[in-house]
Amino acid sequence: SLTVLSDPQKALVRKLCSLGQSHLFAKWPCNTSPTSRRKLATQLQELDEAYADGGLEGYINNAKRLLSDSREGVNPLEGWEPSVPEGERFDLGTKEFEETESAGRPELGKVGFVLVAGGLGERLGYSSIKVGLPTEMATETCYLQYYIEYILAVQVKYGEGKRLPLCIMTSGDTNEKTAKLLRKNNYFGMQKSQITIVQQGQGVPALMDNNAKMVLEENDSSKIVTKPHGHGDVHALLYTHGVAKRWLSDGIEWLTLFQDTNGLAFHTLPLMLGVSKKLDLIMNSLAVPRKAKQAIGGIAKLKHQTTGEYKTLNVEYNQLDPLLRATGNLDGDVNDEKTGYSPFPGNINQLLFKLDAYSDALNRTKGLMPEFVNPKYKDDAKTVFKKPTRLECMMQDFPTILEGEDAKRVGFTSVSADLCFSPVKNATSDGAELQAQNTQPGTAASGEADQFGAVRKILVSLGCHVETASEETYAGIQVVPGPAIVIKPNAACCPGEYHRLFPTPDKVKISANSTLIVRGSEVTIESLDLDGTLVVDADENKSIVVKDKIVKNEGWVKVADDSSDDEIIKMRGYYILRKEADWIEEKNNSCAIL
C-alpha cells in the first residue's frame, strides 16, 4: 500500500507507525484510493517539515512528555517562587509620564511593527478576520487601517525619511482574507514593500489521548486534524523569514509586537520606548492593573528555590492560581483588599524588544518558545479528553530564551488600562458575565467606548472641558457611550502630541452627546464649543485652525439594535444614525475621512 508514495513519504509513514500512529493508516490498503493515501502522506510530510523542534517525531515525544506531566498535575513552574516584580508605573498627566514619553518619542522613528493576526477569534464568534473589524463606528476605521495609519503618522513625524516596516503574522485561517483586505484598500497608503506577511503553518496535529495519538477528520480519512500552535510562533517566523535580521541591517532599532484588536495599543508606545531606553531593557511588556482571575497573564518575578536564579516572566492566567497555592499563598489568585486588584501586573501582550539583542537571541535559539498543553479531561483518572488537544506556545514567553546578564534586562511599563488596553475578544453574552464580575468585558461595544474614553482622558488631563455621558446598555453590555472623539494618529499619536493640537485646552468644551473627528498633521483646535458632531479633516500639508467655533447640531446618535443581520451591528447592539454634522475640510484630493 506504500507503493504510491515517494521514498521520504514511505519512511515517514513507517516511522509514525513505530511511534504509535498506525491507526492513521488502519484503512490502508483496501479502503483507500492511491490519491487519498498520497494526500495524507503529503500533509504528514508538510507537518513534519513545519515543526521546527524535530519534526513529527519531536512533536509526538514532546506531547507525550507534556501530557504525562499534565495528567500527573506537575507544576511547570515547580521550584520557582513568585513575587511581585519591580517595574515602572505611570499616571497620565504627571511629570514622570511626560518626561519618559518625551525621551521615547524620537525612538518612534526606529521601530519595526509586528502584528500577530493568526487567531481565529473563536470567543468573539465573528465569521471573518478580526483586523477587518471597525475600531469604532464614528469613522468605521478597521483595526488594520488604524495600525497602518499610526505607523505612517510616526514615520512622517519621526522617521527622518525612513520607511517603517510592518510584519503581519497570519495563519491558514486569516492569510488570504488579510492579504485581500490590504490589496483592496491599496495597503491603506503604505508601500507594499514595507509590509512582510509571514504565515503560521497549518497548525500542529490535534491529539486524542495521552499517547499523543493524532486524529483523522471525521469525514475525510485522508486528512489529519490540525489546530493553531499559538502566537509564540511569531518569534520563530521572524527568524526563519530573516525579518529581524533584515530590519536590523535597515537601521531599525526596536521591534514591537501587538495583538489584533486593541484600539488603544499605541497611546503608550513612546512611554514604553522611554522606559526601555532608560533601563536598557531587551524586553519590555506593557502591563495594566489586573483583576484576580482576569484572562490576562500576570507578570511575576520568579526565584528558583534551590539555585537562587531570578527571572521576570508572564505566568499565564490558568497557571497563576495553582502556582500561588503551591508556594504558600493559600487563597491563590485573589485581589489585594486595599487596591481591589491582583498584586501581579497584567500582561496585555504589547511587547517591545531591543532589536539587536532580540535578533541575537533568535540566532541562538531559532526563536523556539517553550510549549504547553491544556487538555480538558472527561474522567477523574485524566485518561479521556473532552475534545482533542494540541501543543501551544506563547509570544510573551520570550524571556525563557534569554541567558545570563541578558535575562535580567526584562521589565514592564504599567499604565492604567483605560489608556492602553481594551481588546475585542468576546461575544456579548460572555462579556456581560465578565462585566457582572467587575472585569473588562472585551466586547466590540466596550472596545469602542474605551477608545473614546482614552481620548477623553487625555483631553481632560490637558485641561479641556469634556462632559461624560451617562452609562447606556447595548446587547447586555454597559458602556459610557461618549462623547465619541476620534483623533487620527497624524493629528496626535500620543498624549504629549495633544499639546500641539489643543494649545489652549481651557477654551475647548465638548458636550456629553457630541462626536468630534480630527484628521490632519497641521490642524489646531484653539477654541471650540461643541454640542453635536464636528468633523475636521485636512490632507497632508493643509492647515486648519479651529477658532471661536460654536457647533450646535443634532449630531450622530446610537440606535439600539441587537437583532440585525449585520454581524458588525449585532456584536455591538447598536448602529449610528448620522443626523447632522458640521464639516471643516481642506483637501488636495478626494480622499475622505469617512
* 398 contacts 234 by C-beta, under 8 angstroms: no
Closest by CA to 542, choosing from 470, 469, 593, is: 593
- Cα-flanking dihedrals φ and ψ of residue 116, to 5°? -90, 115
Site for ligand UGB in 499-518 (CB under 6 A): none
SS3 per residue for 349-384: EEEEEEHHHHHHHHHHHCCCCCEEECCCECCCCCCC
Q: What is the DSSP track for 123-183?
A: TTT-SS-GGGSBS-TTT--BHHHHHHHHHHHHHHHHSTTPPPPEEEEE-TTTHHHHHHHHH
Angstrom distance (rounded) from CA 232 to CA 248: 21
Residue closest to ligand UGB (Cβ):
119
Cell of 13: 509513514
Q: State yes or no: residue 348 binds ligand UGB (CB under 6 A).
A: yes
Q: State yes or no: residue 256 binds ligand UGB (CB under 6 A).
A: no
Angstrom distance (rounded) from CA 229 to CA 119: 10
Per-residue binding letters, 134-173, with ligand UGB (x by CB under 6 A): -----------------------------------x-x--
Q: State yes or no: residue 394 binds ligand UGB (CB under 6 A).
A: yes
Stretch that binds ligand UGB, among 11-19, 326-334, 341-349, 533-541 (CB under 6 A): 341-349
Interface with ligand UGB (CB under 6 A), residue from 88, 260, 448, 497: 260
Q: Which is nearer to ligand UGB, 85 or 423 (CB)?
A: 423
Q: State yes or no: residue 201 binds ligand UGB (CB under 6 A).
A: no
Angstrom distance (rounded) from CA 193 to CA 319: 41
Angle between helices 34-50 and 7-18 (to 10 degrees): 80
* 446 contacts 471 by C-beta, under 8 angstroms: no
Min separation Cβ 415 and ligand UGB, Å: 14
Site for ligand UGB in 112-141 (CB under 6 A): 116-119
Min separation Cβ 313 and ligand UGB, Å: 11
Angstrom distance (rounded) from CA 350 to CA 421: 9
Cell of 65: 512528555
Query: Quick one: how far is CA 493 from the chain centroid?
Result: 19
* 489 contacts 188 by C-beta, under 8 angstroms: no
Q: State yes or no: residue 257 binds ligand UGB (CB under 6 A).
A: no
Interface with ligand UGB (CB under 6 A), residue from 228, 343, 345, 495: 228
Min separation Cβ 259 and ligand UGB, Å: 4
Q: Which is nearer to ligand UGB, 289 or 520 (CB)?
A: 289
Q: Which is nearer to ligand UGB, 109 or 447 (CB)?
A: 447
Cell of 569: 451591528
Strand partners, 80: 304
Q: State yes or no: residue 441 binds ligand UGB (CB under 6 A).
A: no
Q: State yes or no: residue 205 binds ligand UGB (CB under 6 A).
A: no
Q: State yes or no: residue 297 binds ligand UGB (CB under 6 A).
A: yes
Interface with ligand UGB (CB under 6 A), residue from 32, 70, 256, 259: 259
For residue 259, the tally of other CB atoms under 10 A from its CB is 23
User: How many residues form the binding site for ligand UGB (CB under 6 A)?
Assistant: 24
Provide the residue count of the chain: 594
Q: Which is nearer to ligand UGB, 243 or 535 (CB)?
A: 243
Q: Which is nearer to ligand UGB, 296 or 538 (CB)?
A: 296
Stretch that binds ligand UGB, among 83-91, 215-223, 227-235, 495-503 (CB under 6 A): 227-235
Q: Which is nearer to ligand UGB, 143 or 385 (CB)?
A: 143
Q: State yes or no: residue 451 binds ligand UGB (CB under 6 A).
A: no
Stretch that binds ligand UGB, among 28-36, 69-77, 225-233, 376-384 (CB under 6 A): 225-233
Interface with ligand UGB (CB under 6 A), residue from 196, 349, 513, 521: 349
* 47 contacts 205 by C-beta, under 8 angstroms: yes
Cell of 37: 493515501
Cell of 164: 517603517
Strand partners, 411: 284
Interface with ligand UGB (CB under 6 A), residue from 205, 230, 289, 496: 230
Angstrom distance (rounded) from CA 440 to CA 472: 16
Q: State yes or no: residue 415 binds ligand UGB (CB under 6 A).
A: no
Q: State yes or no: residue 371 binds ligand UGB (CB under 6 A).
A: no
Min separation Cβ 238 and ligand UGB, Å: 13
Q: Which is nearer to ligand UGB, 32 or 199 (CB)?
A: 199
- Torsion angle (degrees, nearest 10) of CA 526, 530, 535, 537: 0
Stretch that binds ligand UGB, among 345-353, 360-368, 514-522, 531-539 (CB under 6 A): 345-353
- Site residues (vs ligand UGB, CB under 6 A): 116-119, 169, 171, 200, 228-231, 259-260, 296-297, 314, 316, 347-349, 394, 396, 423, 425
